[in-house]
Amino acid sequence: MHPRIPVTVLGATGVVGQRFVRRLSHHPWFAVRHLCASDRNAGKRYRDACDWRLRGEPWGGLGEQVLAPASVGDAFAPVVFSALDSAPARELEPEFAAAGAWVFSNASAFRMADDVPLLVPEVNPDHLALVARQRRERGWRGAIVCNPNCTATVLVTALAPLHATFGVEAVFMTSMQAASGAGYPGVASLDLLGNVIPFIRGEEEKVEEETRKLLGRLTGERIEPAALAISAACNRVPVVDGHHETVSVRLAGDPSLAAVRAALAGWRGEPQRLALPSAPAAPLVVHDADDRPQARLDLDDTDGMAVHVGRLRPCPLLGLKLALLGHNAERGAAGASLLNAELARARGLLAAAVAADPHRPR
Amino acid sequence: MHPRIPVTVLGATGVVGQRFVRRLSHHPWFAVRHLCASDRNAGKRYRDACDWRLRGEPWGGLGEQVLAPASVGDAFAPVVFSALDSAPARELEPEFAAAGAWVFSNASAFRMADDVPLLVPEVNPDHLALVARQRRERGWRGAIVCNPNCTATVLVTALAPLHATFGVEAVFMTSMQAASGAGYPGVASLDLLGNVIPFIRGEEEKVEEETRKLLGRLTGERIEPAALAISAACNRVPVVDGHHETVSVRLAGDPSLAAVRAALAGWRGEPQRLALPSAPAAPLVVHDADDRPQARLDLDDTDGMAVHVGRLRPCPLLGLKLALLGHNAERGAAGASLLNAELARARGLLAAAVAADPHRPR
Amino acid sequence: MHPRIPVTVLGATGVVGQRFVRRLSHHPWFAVRHLCASDRNAGKRYRDACDWRLRGEPWGGLGEQVLAPASVGDAFAPVVFSALDSAPARELEPEFAAAGAWVFSNASAFRMADDVPLLVPEVNPDHLALVARQRRERGWRGAIVCNPNCTATVLVTALAPLHATFGVEAVFMTSMQAASGAGYPGVASLDLLGNVIPFIRGEEEKVEEETRKLLGRLTGERIEPAALAISAACNRVPVVDGHHETVSVRLAGDPSLAAVRAALAGWRGEPQRLALPSAPAAPLVVHDADDRPQARLDLDDTDGMAVHVGRLRPCPLLGLKLALLGHNAERGAAGASLLNAELARARGLLAAAVAADPHRPR
Amino acid sequence: MHPRIPVTVLGATGVVGQRFVRRLSHHPWFAVRHLCASDRNAGKRYRDACDWRLRGEPWGGLGEQVLAPASVGDAFAPVVFSALDSAPARELEPEFAAAGAWVFSNASAFRMADDVPLLVPEVNPDHLALVARQRRERGWRGAIVCNPNCTATVLVTALAPLHATFGVEAVFMTSMQAASGAGYPGVASLDLLGNVIPFIRGEEEKVEEETRKLLGRLTGERIEPAALAISAACNRVPVVDGHHETVSVRLAGDPSLAAVRAALAGWRGEPQRLALPSAPAAPLVVHDADDRPQARLDLDDTDGMAVHVGRLRPCPLLGLKLALLGHNAERGAAGASLLNAELARARGLLAAAVAADPHRPR
For residue range C97-148, what is the model confidence (pLDDT) as tens digits?
A: 999 999 999 999 999 999 999 999 999 999 999 999 999 999 999 999 999 9
Chains with ≥3 CB–CB distances under 8 Å to D: A, B, C
Q: Determine which of B50, B52, B55 to mutate to test the interface with C (most C C-beta atoms within 10 Å).
A: B55
Q: Do B240 and D190 touch (CB under 8 A)?
A: yes
Of C336, C322, C262, which is closest to residue C292 (Cα–Cα)?
Answer: C322
At residue D55 the predicted structure's pLDDT band, cuts being 50, 70 and 90, is: confident
pLDDT value at position C1?
54
* DSSP-derived secondary structure for A171-196: EEEEEEE-GGGG-SS-SBHHHHTT--
D320 bridge partner residues = D249, D314
CB B20 within 8 A of CB B91: no
Sign, Cα dihedral of B63, B66, B68, B69: positive
Sign, Cα dihedral of B286, B291, B297, B300: positive
Of D64, D66, D65, D93, which is closest to residue D81 (Cα–Cα)?
Answer: D93
- Burial call C260-299: b when 16+ CB within 10 Å, e when fewer: bbebbeebebbbbebebbbbbebbbbbbeeebbbbbbbbb
**CA pair distance A183, D1, nearest whole angstrom:** 50
Average pLDDT across chain D, whole number: 96
CB A356 within 8 A of CB A283: no
Which residues on chain D are in Cβ contact (under 8 Å) with A296?
240
Of D18, D49, D12, D54, which is closest to residue D34 (Cα–Cα)?
Answer: D12
Tell me, yes or no, whether D308 and D168 share the same domain: yes
**Number of other residues whose CB lies within 10 A of the CB of residue B224:** 12
User: Looking at the domain assignment, is residue A349 inside a domain?
Assistant: yes
User: Looking at the domain assignment, is residue A56 inside a domain?
Assistant: yes
Of C244, D247, A9, A316, which is closest to residue B227 (Cα–Cα)?
Answer: A316
**CA pair distance A239, B65, nearest whole angstrom:** 43
Of D129, D37, D49, which is closest to residue D82 (Cα–Cα)?
Answer: D37
CA distances from C223 to B138, C128, C210, C220 (A): 80, 11, 12, 8
Minimum CA–CA partner of B178 in chain D: D190
User: Looking at the domain assignment, is residue D360 inside a domain?
Assistant: no
pLDDT value at position B14?
93
Query: What pLDDT, in 10s, does the model give residues C328-343?
Result: 999 999 999 999 999 9
Sign, Cα dihedral of A270, A276, A282, A284: negative
Tell me, yes or no, whether C84 and C176 share the same domain: no
State the burial class of residue C226 (Cβ atoms within 10 Å of its Cβ: 0-12, 13-18, 19+): buried
Query: What pLDDT, in 10s, does the model give residues B209-259?
Result: 999 999 999 999 999 999 999 999 999 999 999 999 999 999 999 999 999
The alpha-carbon gap from A314 to the nearest alpha carbon of chain B, in Å, equals 9
**Number of other residues whose CB lies within 10 A of the CB of residue B115:** 19
| Amino acid at position B154, single letter | V
Tell me, yes or no, whether D142 and D160 share the same domain: no
Beta strands in chain A (DSSP E): 5-10, 30-36, 79-82, 102-105, 143-146, 168-177, 217-219, 222-224, 229-236, 243-251, 284-286, 307-315, 319-326
Tell me, yes or no, whether D111 and D154 share the same domain: no
Tell me, yes or no, whether C160 and C125 share the same domain: no
Cis ω before A185 (30° cut-off from 0): yes
Instruction: Flag whether pLDDT at D132 surpasses 80.
Output: yes
Q: Do B189 and D194 touch (CB under 8 A)?
A: no
Which residues on chain B are in Cβ contact (under 8 Å) with C300?
55
Mode of pairing for the β-strands spanning C229-236 and C222-224: unpaired
Q: What is the CATH number of the domain that holds D170?
A: 3.30.360.10
pLDDT value at position D361?
73
**H/E element holding C8?**
strand C5-10
Mode of pairing for the β-strands spanning C30-36 and C5-10: parallel
Q: Which residues of A touch C (CB under 8 A)?
A: 15, 53, 179-180, 184-194, 238-240
Tell me, yes or no, whether D138 and D87 share the same domain: yes
Tell me, yes or no, whether A284 and A201 share the same domain: yes
Instruction: Flag whether pLDDT at C300 surpasses 90.
Output: no
Give the largest CA-CA distance in chain D: 65
| Amino acid at position C161, single letter | P
User: Looking at the domain assignment, is residue D287 inside a domain?
Assistant: yes
Q: Of B55, B194, B300, which is closest to C297 when you measure between CB atoms? A: B55
Tell me, yes or no, whether B101 and B157 share the same domain: no
CA distances from C311 to A63, A260, B318, D190, D197 (A): 47, 58, 57, 21, 11
CB A276 within 8 A of CB A342: yes
C163 Cβ contact partners less than 8 Å away, ≥ 6 residues apart: C215, C226, C228
Tell me, yes or no, whether B101 and B161 share the same domain: no
Instruction: Flag whether pLDDT at D170 surpasses 60.
Output: yes
pLDDT value at position D106?
98
Tell me, yes or no, whether D180 and D314 share the same domain: yes
Which residues on chain B are in Cβ contact (under 8 Å) with C296?
240
Q: Do C189 and A192 touch (CB under 8 A)?
A: yes
Q: Do A235 and B244 touch (CB under 8 A)?
A: yes
**CA pair distance B71, D199, nearest whole angstrom:** 37
Q: Of A53, A189, A239, which is closest to C192 when you measure between CB atoms? A: A189
> In which domain, by residue range, is C63 found?
5-147+334-355
The alpha-carbon gap from B232 to the nearest alpha carbon of chain D, in Å, equals 24
Q: What are phi and psi of C321, to 5 degrees?
A: -115, 145
**CA pair distance D197, A95, nearest whole angstrom:** 56
The alpha-carbon gap from D174 to the nearest alpha carbon of chain C, in Å, equals 7
pLDDT value at position A1?
54
| Amino acid at position A155, single letter | L
A13 Cβ contact partners less than 8 Å away, ≥ 6 residues apart: A37, A38, A41, A46, A49, A50, A51, A67
At residue D202 the predicted structure's pLDDT band, cuts being 50, 70 and 90, is: very high
Sign, Cα dihedral of C272, C274, C275, C278: negative
**CA pair distance D362, D359, nearest whole angstrom:** 9
Mode of pairing for the β-strands spanning D102-105 and B30-36: unpaired
Listed as ranges, residues in chain A with pLDDT below 50 are: none
Q: Do A180 and C190 touch (CB under 8 A)?
A: yes
Q: What are phi and psi of B248, to 5 degrees?
A: -120, 140
**CA pair distance B158, B323, nearest whole angstrom:** 10
DSSP label at residue B99: T
User: Looking at the domain assignment, is residue A360 inside a domain?
Assistant: no
Question: What mean pLDDT is predicted for residues D195-223?
Answer: 97
Query: What pLDDT, in 10s, does the model give residues D304-346?
Result: 999 999 999 999 999 999 999 999 999 999 999 999 999 999 9
Question: What mean pLDDT is predicted for residues D228-251?
Answer: 98
Q: What is the dihedral of CA B230, B235, B237, B243, to 10 degrees?
A: 30
Instruction: Flag whether pLDDT at C358 surpasses 60.
Output: yes
Gyration radius of chain B over CA positions: 20
User: Looking at the domain assignment, is residue D178 inside a domain?
Assistant: yes
Active site residues of B: 150, 243
Beta strands in D87-238 (DSSP E): 102-105, 143-146, 168-177, 217-219, 222-224, 229-236
Q: Is A2 a catalytic residue?
A: no
* DSSP-derived secondary structure for C175-222: EEE-GGGG-SS-SBHHHHTT--B---TTHHHHHHHHHHHHTPEEETTE
The alpha-carbon gap from C192 to the nearest alpha carbon of chain D, in Å, equals 9
**CA pair distance A136, A221, nearest whole angstrom:** 11
Q: What is the CATH number of the domain that holds B77?
A: 3.40.50.720
Chains with ≥3 CB–CB distances under 8 Å to A: B, C, D
D355 Cβ contact partners less than 8 Å away, ≥ 6 residues apart: none
Question: What mean pLDDT is predicted for residues B124-149?
Answer: 98
Which residues on chain C are in Cβ contact (under 8 Å) with B192?
none
User: Looking at the domain assignment, is residue C360 inside a domain?
Assistant: no
Tell me, yes or no, whether B110 and B162 share the same domain: no
**CA pair distance A152, A339, nearest whole angstrom:** 16
CB C81 within 8 A of CB C22: no
| Number of independent structural domains in chain B | 2
Q: What is the dihedral of CA C183, C186, C190, C194, to 10 degrees?
A: -30
Query: What pLDDT, in 10s, does the model give residues C31-47?
Result: 999 999 988 999 999 99
- Residue B244, SS3 per DSSP: strand
User: Looking at the domain assignment, is residue B361 inside a domain?
Assistant: no
CA distances from C14 to C20, C85, C186, C333 (A): 10, 10, 11, 12
Which residues on chain C are in Cβ contact (under 8 Å) with D239?
194-196, 238
* DSSP-derived secondary structure for A50-106: ----SSSSGGGG-TTPBPBPSSHHHH--SEEEE---HHHHHHHHHHHHHTT-EEEE-
Task: Annotate D211-250 with three-state secondary structure.
Answer: HHHHCCEEECCEEECCCCEEEEEEEECCCCCCEEEEEEEE
Minimum CA–CA partner of B56 in chain C: C301
CA distances from C238 to A79, C54, C176 (A): 41, 18, 9
The alpha-carbon gap from B237 to the nearest alpha carbon of chain D, in Å, equals 11
Q: Do D196 and C315 touch (CB under 8 A)?
A: no
CA distances from B98 to B90, B142, C159, D145 (A): 13, 6, 60, 63
pLDDT value at position D362?
67
**CA pair distance D235, D187, nearest whole angstrom:** 12
Q: Do B240 and C194 touch (CB under 8 A)?
A: no
Of B356, B338, B327, B235, which is closest to residue B21 (Cα–Cα)?
Answer: B338
Tell me, yes or no, whether C207 and C315 share the same domain: yes
